[in-house]
Structure 1
Amino acid sequence: MKLVYVFDAYCGWSHGFSGTLREVVSRHPGLPVEVVSGGLFVGGRRVPIREFGYVQGANAQISELTGAEFGDGYERLIADGSFVMDSEAAARGVAALRRAAPDRAVETAVALQHAFYVDGRSLSDPATYRHVAETAGLDTDAVLGAFGSPETQGAAEADFRRAAELGVTGFPTLLAVDGSRAVPLARGHATTDEVDHRLASLGVARTS
């Protein structure tokens, strides 16, 4: 069995779930985790953030419920409403970091969300990936090279297909996957204890 975490780096609820995800991984260090980008803002949804009038209200709700931080850098970035969230670029970034450090995919996915939602760094900007790679002690040249490569473009598209094949329609979604069986552990929001309880019902006990 493994965990499959389907998220979008530009999804506020995914940002809010970061604390739960980190704690679940900490409690179950032997459980592999596959991180998949879902593709929230692609195609016709790749528009200036002002067109999503619910964003500020949703962020306040996310912060209240999860304690997630939405930093001053983020508020400055979106202040005039012109910023465009491009989930295809973000998925390429997730794939580039995942390629550089496959066993740290959760860590780097969470770091990307911090870069956007706290620091106010665009996930379309290669400099963001340089920063995240340097902070994580990864090979920055390898990450930046991968970010713009056709292989990483293919990996992003494969992630979107994988999310669809798993039947995921909202982010974040955390699944327990065993062969062809996928059991939802969290959709949108859940506490660590709630996820643990669902894992226990599948015979997966906490080990840390």
Structure 2
Amino acid sequence: MKLVYVFDAYCGWSHGFSATLAELTRRHPELPVEVVSGGLFTGARRVPIREFGYVQGSNAKIAELTGATFGQAYEHLIADGSFVMDSEAAARGLAALRQAAPARAAELAVAMQEAFYRDGLSLSDADTYRTVARAAGLDADAVAAAFAAPGAGKAARADFRRSAEYGVQGFPTLLAVDGDRATVLAVGHATADQVDQRLSALGRTR
């Protein structure tokens, strides 16, 4: 069995799930975790953030339910409403980081979201991935080069297809995958204890 975490780096609820994901990886080192990017802000939804008038209210609810924090640098980045959230660029970034350290994909996904939601760094900027890679002890130049390479775009599109094949309709979605069987463990918000209860029902305990 493995865990498959389908998230979008520009999804506030995915940011709110980061603490649960980190705790689950700590509790279950025996379970591999694959991270798949969803395409929340692509195509016609790739517009200035002012078009999504619910962002501030949604973030307040996320903070209340999950304890997630939103940094001043992030608030400053989105303050004038012109910032464009591009999920394909973020998926390319995850692909570049994942290529550098496949076994650390969950950790790196959390670091990406902290770069945006805490530090106000654009996930469309190669320098953001240099910063994340450097902090993780990875080759920053190699990660930045991978982000810009055609292979990252192919990996991003492959992630979007996988998300659709799993039937994911909301981010984040955490799945337990055993062979051809995929079981939903969480959608949107759940604590580590709640996920553990669902894992126990599948025969996995702490």
Do the two structures share a fold, i.e. TM-score over 0.5? yes
Deviations 1:154-187 (A, max 9, x none): 0000000000000001000000001111100000
Counterpart residue number, 2:89: 89
TM-score, structure 1 as length reference: 0.98
Q: Distance in 2 between matches of 1:45 and 1:78?
A: 16
Q: For residue 9 of structure 1, report the CA deviation from its aligned partner.
A: 0.2
Counterpart residue number, 2:57: 57
Deviations 1:13-51 (A, max 9, x none): 000000000001111000011100011000000000000
Unaligned runs of 5+ in 1: none
Moved over 3 A (4+): none
Unaligned runs of 5+ in 2: none
Counterpart residue number, 1:138: 138
Deviations 1:45-100 (A, max 9, x none): 00000000000000000000000000000000000000000000000000000000
SS in 1 for 2:30: coil
1:39-50 matched pairs, under 5 angstroms: 39-50=39-50
SS in 2 for 1:185: strand
Q: Percent identity?
A: 74
SS in 2 for 1:21: helix
What count of residue pairs does the alignment treat as equivalent? 206
Counterpart residue number, 1:153: 153
The alignment yields a C-alpha RMSD, in angstroms, of: 0.4
> Which amino acid in the other structure matches residue 154 of structure 1?
K
SS in 2 for 1:133: helix
Q: Distance in 1 between matches of 2:94 and 2:39?
A: 12
SS in 1 for 2:124: coil
TM-score, structure 2 as length reference: 0.99
1:52-201 matched pairs, under 5 angstroms: 52-201=52-201
